[in-house]
Chain A
Amino acid sequence: MLKPKVCILRSAGTNCDQETALAFKLAGAACELVHINRLVSNPADLENFHILALPGGFSYGDDVASGKILANELRFKLVDALQKFIAAGKLVIGICNGFQILVKSGFLPGGRPSKPGRDIAASDLKQNTSLIINDSAKFEARWVYLKPVGSTCLWTKGLKNIIYLPVAHGEGKFVVADQQLLKQLKLNRQIVLQYSNVSGELTGYPDNPNGSSQNIAGICDFTGRVFGLMPHPERHLYAAQHPRKDRRKKGEDGLQIFKNGVEFIKKNF
Chain B
Amino acid sequence: MQYKIEVMDKPGIFDAVGRGLSRDIVDLGIKGVRRVKFAQVYILEGDLAIGQVTSICQELLTDKVTQFYKILTVPKPLPAAGCHTIEVAYNPGVMDPVEASVLKGIQDLGISGIDSVKTAKKYIISGKLSTTQLNTIAQKLLYNKLIQHIVNPQVAQTDTQHLPNYNFNLINVDLLNATDRRLLEISKRGQLFLNLNEMRRIRSFFRKQKRNPTDCELETIAQTWSEHCYHKTFRGNIIYRESNASPRLGNMRIKNLLKSTIMKATKELNKSWCVSVFKDNSGVVKFDQNNNICFKVETHNHPSALEPFGGANTGIGGVIRDAIGTGLGAKPILNTDIFCFAPPDLAAPKVPPGALHPKRIMRGVVSGVRDYGNKMGIPTVNGAILFHENFAGNPLVYCGTAGILPKDKSFKHTDRGDLIVVVGGATGRDGIHGATFSSGELTNESETVSSGAVQIGNPIQEKKVLDTILQARDQNLYSAITDCGAGGLSSAVGEMGQELGARVYLDKVPLKYSGLNYMEIWISESQERMVLSVPLKNIHKLISLFANENVTATVIGEFTGNKRLELYYQDKLVCDLDMQFLHEGIPQIAKQACYVQTRHREPRIAQKKNLTGVLLKLLGHFDICSKEWVIRQYDHEVQGGSVIKPLMGANNDGPSDASVIRPLFNSSRGVIISNGINFRFGFIDPYWMAASCIDEALRQIISVGGSLEQVAILDNFCWGNPDKPDRLGGLVRAAFGCYDMAKAFGVPFISGKDSFYNEFNVGGKSTPIPGTLLISAIGLMEDVNKAISMYAKAAGNLIYVVGNTRPELGASHYFDLYQAIGNQVPKVYPQQARQGFIALSKAAKKGLVRSMHDCSDGGLAVALAEMAFSGSLGMDIFLAEVPGVKPGKMSNETVLFSETNSRFVVEVQPDKQRAFEQQLRGVALGLVGCLTEKTDFKVYGLEGGVCIDAKVGQLKTAWRAPLKW
Residues of A within 8 A of B (CB): 10, 12-16, 18-19, 22, 35, 37-38, 56-58, 60-61, 63-65, 68-69, 72-73, 76-77, 104, 126-130, 132-143, 166, 168, 173, 175-177, 211, 232, 234-235, 237, 239-241, 243-247
Provided the pairs A15-B376, A72-B109, A77-B108 are in contact, do residues A63 and B102 lie with their beta carbons within 8 angstroms? yes
In the complex, chain A residues whose CB is within 8 Å of the CB of B787 = 240
In the complex, chain B residues whose CB is within 8 Å of the CB of A168 = 374, 635, 637-638
Taking a contact as CB atoms under 8 Å apart, the answer to whether A64 and B460 are in contact is no
- Shortest C-beta distance, A67 to chain B (Å), equals 11
Q: How far is B12's CA from A176's CA once the two chains are assembled, in angstroms?
A: 12
Taking a contact as CB atoms under 8 Å apart, the answer to whether B638 and A15 are in contact is yes
| Segment from B60-68, B737-745, B878-886 that makes contact with A | B60-68
- Shortest C-beta distance, B633 to chain A (Å), equals 5
Q: How far is B639's CA from A102's CA once the two chains are assembled, in angstroms?
A: 22
Interface positions of B from 455 to 485, Cβ below 8 Å from A: 458-460, 463-464, 467
- Shortest C-beta distance, A28 to chain B (Å), equals 15
- Shortest C-beta distance, A102 to chain B (Å), equals 14
Interchain CB contact (< 8 A) of B549 among A12, A57, A126, A141? A12
In the complex, chain B residues whose CB is within 8 Å of the CB of A16 = 377, 638
In the complex, chain A residues whose CB is within 8 Å of the CB of B662 = 240
Q: How far is B881's CA from A53's CA once the two chains are assembled, in angstroms?
A: 58
Taking a contact as CB atoms under 8 Å apart, the answer to whether B639 and A19 are in contact is yes
Q: List 23 A-B contacts (CB under 8 A).
A: A12-B463, A13-B463, A15-B377, A18-B639, A22-B640, A22-B665, A56-B638, A58-B460, A60-B104, A61-B459, A64-B60, A65-B63, A69-B104, A130-B65, A132-B63, A132-B66, A173-B14, A211-B14, A240-B784, A241-B637, A243-B645, A244-B648, A244-B652
Q: How far is B668's CA from A241's CA once the two chains are assembled, in angstroms?
A: 12
Measured CB to CB, the nearest residue on chain A to B99 is A63
Q: How far is B42's CA from A79's CA once the two chains are assembled, in angstroms?
A: 27
Taking a contact as CB atoms under 8 Å apart, the answer to whether A137 and B109 are in contact is no
Q: How far is B768's CA from A93's CA once the two chains are assembled, in angstroms?
A: 55
Measured CB to CB, the nearest residue on chain A to B42 is A64
Interface positions of B from 363 to 384, Cβ below 8 Å from A: 370, 374-377
Measured CB to CB, the nearest residue on chain B to A19 is B640
9 additional contacts (CB under 8 A) given A15-B377, A140-B632 = A12-B550, A15-B638, A64-B61, A127-B65, A137-B17, A141-B632, A240-B643, A244-B652, A247-B793
In the complex, B785 has a CB within 8 A of chain A: yes
Report which residue of B16, B652, B784, B851 has the largest number of chain A beta carbons within 10 angstroms of its beta carbon: B16
In the complex, chain A residues whose CB is within 8 Å of the CB of B784 = 240
Taking a contact as CB atoms under 8 Å apart, the answer to whether B13 and A175 are in contact is yes
Measured CB to CB, the nearest residue on chain A to B549 is A35
Q: How far is B108's CA from A141's CA once the two chains are assembled, in angstroms?
A: 32
In the complex, chain B residues whose CB is within 8 Å of the CB of A243 = 645, 648, 652
Contact with A along B599-641 (1 / 0, CB 8 A): 0000000000000000000000000000000001111111110
Provided the pairs A18-B639, A64-B60, A130-B66 are in contact, do residues A69 and B549 lie with their beta carbons within 8 angstroms? no
Taking a contact as CB atoms under 8 Å apart, the answer to whether B105 and A69 are in contact is yes
In the complex, chain B residues whose CB is within 8 Å of the CB of A175 = 13, 65-66
Measured CB to CB, the nearest residue on chain A to B646 is A141
Taking a contact as CB atoms under 8 Å apart, the answer to whether A141 and B640 are in contact is no
In the complex, B789 has a CB within 8 A of chain A: yes
Report which residue of B108, B458, B637, B785 has the largest number of chain A beta carbons within 10 angstroms of its beta carbon: B637
Taking a contact as CB atoms under 8 Å apart, the answer to whether A241 and B549 are in contact is no
Taking a contact as CB atoms under 8 Å apart, the answer to whether B102 and A64 are in contact is yes
Provided the pairs A140-B632, A240-B785, A247-B793 are in contact, do residues A13 and B648 lie with their beta carbons within 8 angstroms? no
Taking a contact as CB atoms under 8 Å apart, the answer to whether A138 and B633 are in contact is yes
In the complex, B512 has a CB within 8 A of chain A: no
Measured CB to CB, the nearest residue on chain B to A236 is B640
In the complex, chain A residues whose CB is within 8 Å of the CB of B851 = 246
In the complex, chain B residues whose CB is within 8 Å of the CB of A19 = 639-640, 665
Contact with A along B156-200 (1 / 0, CB 8 A): 000000000000000000000000000000000000000000000
Interchain CB contact (< 8 A) of A60 among B20, B65, B101, B636? B101
Q: How far is B632's CA from A140's CA once the two chains are assembled, in angstroms?
A: 5
In the complex, B97 has a CB within 8 A of chain A: yes
Q: How far is B549's CA from A37's CA once the two chains are assembled, in angstroms?
A: 7
In the complex, chain B residues whose CB is within 8 Å of the CB of A239 = 785
Interchain CB contact (< 8 A) of A64 among B66, B105, B376, B639? B105
In the complex, chain B residues whose CB is within 8 Å of the CB of A60 = 101, 104-105, 460
Q: How far is B638's CA from A245's CA once the two chains are assembled, in angstroms?
A: 18
Interface positions of B from 88 to 115, Cβ below 8 Å from A: 97-98, 101-102, 104-105, 108-110
Q: How far is B100's CA from A69's CA once the two chains are assembled, in angstroms?
A: 11
In the complex, chain A residues whose CB is within 8 Å of the CB of B102 = 63-64
Provided the pairs A61-B97, A246-B788 are in contact, do residues A241 and B110 lie with their beta carbons within 8 angstroms? no
In the complex, chain A residues whose CB is within 8 Å of the CB of B709 = none
Provided the pairs A13-B463, A139-B370 are in contact, do residues A127 and B64 lie with their beta carbons within 8 angstroms? yes
In the complex, B271 has a CB within 8 A of chain A: no
Q: How far is B642's CA from A64's CA once the two chains are assembled, in angstroms?
A: 31
Nearest 10 A/B pairs, CB to CB: A15-B377, A63-B101, A19-B640, A137-B16, A130-B65, A137-B20, A61-B460, A168-B635, A63-B98, A166-B637
